[in-house]
Chain A
Amino acid sequence: MDINPIVIFFASIFTSNIVLTNFLGMCSYLAISKDLKSSWGLGQAVIFVMTITTILNYLVYKYILIPAGLEYLRYIVFIIVVAAFVQLLEMILERFIPGLYYTLGIFLPLITVNCAILGVALFMVIREYTFLQSLAYGAGGGIGWALAIVALAGIREKVDETKIPKGLQGPGFALIVTGIMAMAFVGLSGIANIQ
């Protein structure tokens, strides 16, 4: 795989958006997208955690698992790295930056089980990215996820006032909006392609 990291960065935000084309992180995506403020909070937390854990997982995979011949343990190892990092981050924030802790704190535990974080790490392994490519993919993936959830929350806030058929309220409506967004993003597919 020899793709420019900058291309990967933009592609993972727009054309291969992890929510709209890979369906990752849907649970919190549907649950937290009811208002703009908390969706942006969660989005920020995901950008931050995803960028760093992708790098950590890359290093662990390349320098510990491959030399030891333990590639098949990657699922367990990746999830432990993510959980440990989130726990550590929570403690550091609480101790040193309490302001940020109060805005992001409640979202951090949710992130451990966000499948987007694990998914990005697994895609990174399957596509055999190098260090810079992984960095670009992790950061782009996080920004793409945040973009999608903020856009959905904005639309949901606006539509809240209108009348929606009863059965479609809640998740059903969010899914339809997401589907339309996915179609819109297909229009950008000429920019870059990484698959």
Chain B
Amino acid sequence: MRSEIKTITEKDLWTENPVIRQILGICSALAVTNLMANTFIMGMGVTFVTAFSSMTVSFLRHVIPRRIRMMVQTLIIASYVIIVDIILKAFLPEISANLGPYVGLIITNCIIMGRCEAYGQSNPPLLAFWDGMMSGLGYTMVLMFISFIRELMGFGTLFGIPILGDWWTRWTIMVMPASAFFVLAIIIWIVQARQSKKSV
């Protein structure tokens, strides 16, 4: 059990990281990374939904008929997303407005469905919960890194706190959508280049 937990953690955070290794969940990875505060909340939301829906799928794994499992999983995920949406609207209305439709789009985030399919439905609930949580954190980690670069260079701030001061010329491109593509592409490039060097 303990070694299992360790392998899951390692896999989900790094060797099979959902964003940079499996290229899943890219939509939101690009859309919410302009400010670190937004990214952090989004990451937490995704982690919550992944962990709990994976666990729920695992609890119900002997009950759900195979043929309709996709539909059932989607409904489970959508229910948790509604919870996240209501909580955000109640306690963090400003960030909820910033994230806009991307909270609802957690439903179609391929990472969550992927974890339910690949792990949740064939493993016990606690391990599934842990796996979902680690995948969510692996996703959050990459997103935080991207938004760190984009907010620092685009606004000169981190979490809205000025870091670089007045001498810093803001890179407008880092605020524009295009930079999200470039930053993610460069991260994937570096990781894959190191990977292929290692395997040679």
Name A residues whose Cβ lies closer than 8 Å to a Cβ of B: 20-27, 30, 72-76, 79, 83, 113-115, 118-119, 122-123, 126, 165-169, 171-173, 175-176, 178-180, 182-183, 186
Q: Is the CB of B104 within 8 A of A75?
A: yes
Q: Which of B110, B113, B184 contacts A175 (CB 8 A)?
A: B184
- Residue B63 at the chain A interface, CB threshold 8 Å: no
Segment of B3-11, B77-85, B130-138, B155-163 in the binding face: B77-85
Instruction: Determine whether the beta carbon of A114 is less than 8 Å from that of B181.
Output: no
Chain B residues near A165: list those with CB within 8 A: 189, 193
A75 touches B177 (CB 8 A): no
Residues from chain B with a CB closer than 8 A to the CB of A75 are: 78, 81-82, 85, 104, 107
Known: A27-B110, A30-B26. A186 touches B185 (CB 8 A): no
Among candidates A115, A169, A186, residue contacting B105 with C-beta atoms closer than 8 Å? A115
Which residues of chain B have C-beta atoms less than 8 A from A114's C-beta?
A: 108
Minimum CB–CB distance for B80 against chain A, Å: 10
Bound-state CA distance A194–B104 (Å) is 21
Are B85 and A30 within 8 A (Cβ)?
no
Q: Nearest CB to that of A118 among chain B residues? A: B108
B86 in contact (CB, < 8 A): yes
- Our pick among B25, B26, B108, B193 for the contact of A167 (Cβ within 8 Å) is B193
User: What CA separation (Å) do A179 and B155 show in the bound complex?
Assistant: 20
A26-B26, A76-B78 known; A167-B196 Cβ under 8 A: yes
Q: Which of A23, A113, A126, A169 contacts B108 (CB 8 A)?
A: A113
* A161 vs B110: C-alpha distance when bound (angstroms): 31
Closest chain A residue to B181, Cβ basis: A179
A118 partner residues in chain B, CB cutoff 8 A: 104-105, 107-108
Contacts A79-B108, A168-B185 supplied; 14 other A-B pairs, CB < 8 Å: A22-B31, A23-B31, A76-B75, A113-B110, A119-B27, A126-B101, A167-B188, A171-B188, A172-B188, A176-B182, A176-B185, A178-B181, A179-B179, A179-B181
| 14 chain-A/chain-B pairs, Cβ below 8 angstroms | A22-B177, A26-B30, A79-B108, A115-B108, A118-B105, A122-B105, A166-B196, A167-B190, A167-B191, A168-B192, A169-B192, A172-B185, A178-B181, A180-B178
Interface membership of B38, Cβ < 8 A? no
Interface size bracket, B side: 35 or more
Nearest residue, chain B, Cβ from A24: B27
B104 x A26 contact (CB < 8 A): no
Instruction: Give min CB distance, A151 to chain B, whole Å.
Output: 14
Q: Which residues 67-82 in B have Cβ within 8 Å of A in the complex?
A: 71, 74-75, 78-79, 81-82
Residues in A with CB closer than 8 Å to B78 are 75-76, 79
Q: Which of B23, B85, B179, B195 has the most CB of A within 10 A?
A: B23
Tell me the smallest distance from the CB of A148 to a CB of chain B, in Å: 12
Q: Which of B110, B173, B177, B190 sits near A20, CB closer than 8 Å?
A: B177
Do the beta carbons of A168 and B26 come within 8 Å of each other? Answer: no
**A21–B194 alpha-carbon span in the complex (Å):** 30
Q: 3 closest A-B pairs (Cβ-Cβ)?
A: A167-B193, A179-B181, A122-B101
Q: Which of A23, A72, A76 contacts B27 (CB 8 A)?
A: A23
Contacts of B92 in A (CB 8 A): none
Give CA–CA (A23, B176) in the complex, Å: 12
Contact for B101 among A21, A123, A179, CB less than 8 A: A123
Contact between A126 and B100, CB atoms less than 8 A apart: yes
Hey, which chain A residues are within 8 Å of B41, CB to CB? none
Within 8 A of A (CB), among B18-62: 23-28, 30-31
